[in-house]
Amino acid sequence: MPPQKPMIEELDTTGNVSADDSSSTEKKDIKEEVQSIYHRIFAERGPNKRKIKVRKIEEMPLELNGPDSDSEYQDSHDSTDTDDATIVSSELQNINSESDDAEKEEDESLSVSDTEDQSQRIKDWLTSWKVNDPGVCCICLDSATTEDNVLVYCDNDECEVVTHQECYGIIDLPGAHDPWYCDRCLAKPSECVSCCLCPNKNGAFRRLSRGADSGGWVHVVCALWMPGMWIGDNELISDITVEHVQQNNWRKSCCVCSSGLRDEGAVVHCDAGGCKNWLHVTCAQSLSLLEVVEDDPNMADPYFIYCPQHGSHAGEDPRLNAWERWYRKRDEFLLNARKKEGLARTRRVNVEDDIGMTLRELFEDRYCDYRERREQRIAQTRRRVAEGAAIVNGIKDQIVKNEQALVEISSKVESGEQERQALLAYIEEITPCLHILTKAMLRTD
């Protein structure tokens, strides 16, 4: 195998092979070097990781979505553990079949000339997807609007945020032709926006208070429904802190989401009497299990969260809500588009006139995979930090309670000591009288 340095010298500044040094022998050497680098990147893994069987480059697609991805946020429980295992699978099959039918209309692979057209097709599909939204708020799942509380759409073509003004704390509406973006889309591209309470990546986010230890983000729906969450400004839905979430809401398994995610973040207990199930707020929302009693104004707490087994679905299995199905169609389409693009890039490895550009694309794909795994680690770390902050705050609250109890006990001890001293003084006073009485009784006998 030729050394790497000559290979680098033969590539011009644009990443293409120089015309002056493009002999067939040198191109073959470069191609072999690219294949070797490609195999080392995608086949050689760490000592504790399973080895991947190396195939010919023409046959090897680029897997852009790793096994740790949570794009399919569904229940994978065994039927012997819970009766909730069938609630999501049929919904996802319907979504996937719809997306597959749309994809079959396109070519199975992309050539070099089709790459530019692919980006336009994706843009057109997203435009159509955005127009065909279900018309419900992603926070309250209600479609009703008023003049003072309309639905506002994020103008990012790929964003799924549709929210009422009041639900997201939008005071001033943008003009008819002015763009509006949610907080997640306004964040820096390098920033990892992830909820500190659940692993779900979609929905309306708000940044936690600057004084929050985790320094992260939270779903608005999680902030509204998680017991112990504090929203300092209810009008703007801001100044949110997570430190007061109770310790018993952490380190429990969600009964809805997949096995790799069920232990992430904080969960809430099913409000059905005697039920032992716990679940993430966003998992409950995805199946319309967040219920509000509106016909009893005297009820102190009309908000209830149920597991799939106890939700009010008229005896039927719970279904994914309309907004959830809508954004999952987008996720499925984009995943298929990325897979096609990855296949096209691996095929272009063998196009001799495009070796330099393809090599750069391979490293770009590898970096995207690294960045995705990095964001997952950051999200998990932030949830651990939020959990730690809640535990520390719980310990502090317990210390305060213990100190108050200690003061009360000390006060009682002091009062008891005073009563004891008074009793001793009283005994000393009546002792002579008791002696006289005793002598008198003895003489009488």
DSSP character string of 232-250:
EETTTTEEEE-TTS-GGGB
Per-residue confidence of the chain (445 residues) as pLDDT tens digits?
Answer: 444 433 333 444 444 444 444 455 655 565 565 555 545 544 444 444 433 333 343 333 433 344 344 433 344 344 334 444 444 455 545 545 555 554 444 444 445 455 567 788 899 999 999 999 999 999 999 999 998 899 999 999 999 999 999 999 999 888 878 899 999 999 988 888 999 999 999 999 999 987 555 568 999 999 999 999 999 999 999 999 988 899 899 989 999 987 788 899 999 999 998 899 999 999 999 999 999 887 777 777 888 999 998 887 756 778 899 999 999 999 999 999 888 887 777 776 666 555 555 667 777 778 888 888 888 898 888 888 888 888 888 888 889 999 999 999 999 999 999 999 999 999 988 988 888 888 888 877 6
Structure tokens at 127: 């435009």
What residues form DSSP beta bridges with 149?
146
Structure tokens at 86: 């069938």
d(CA 329, CA 334): 9
d(CA 6, CA 373): 33
CATH T-level fold of 66-344: Herpes Virus-1 (3.30.40)
Q: Where are the domains of the chain?
A: 66-344
d(CA 140, CA 167): 7
Three-state secondary-structure class, residue 443: helix
Q: Which residue has the tokens 């399973």?
A: 50
Three-state secondary-structure class, residue 205: strand
> Which amino acid makes up residue 300?
A
Q: Is the pTM of this model over 0.95?
A: no
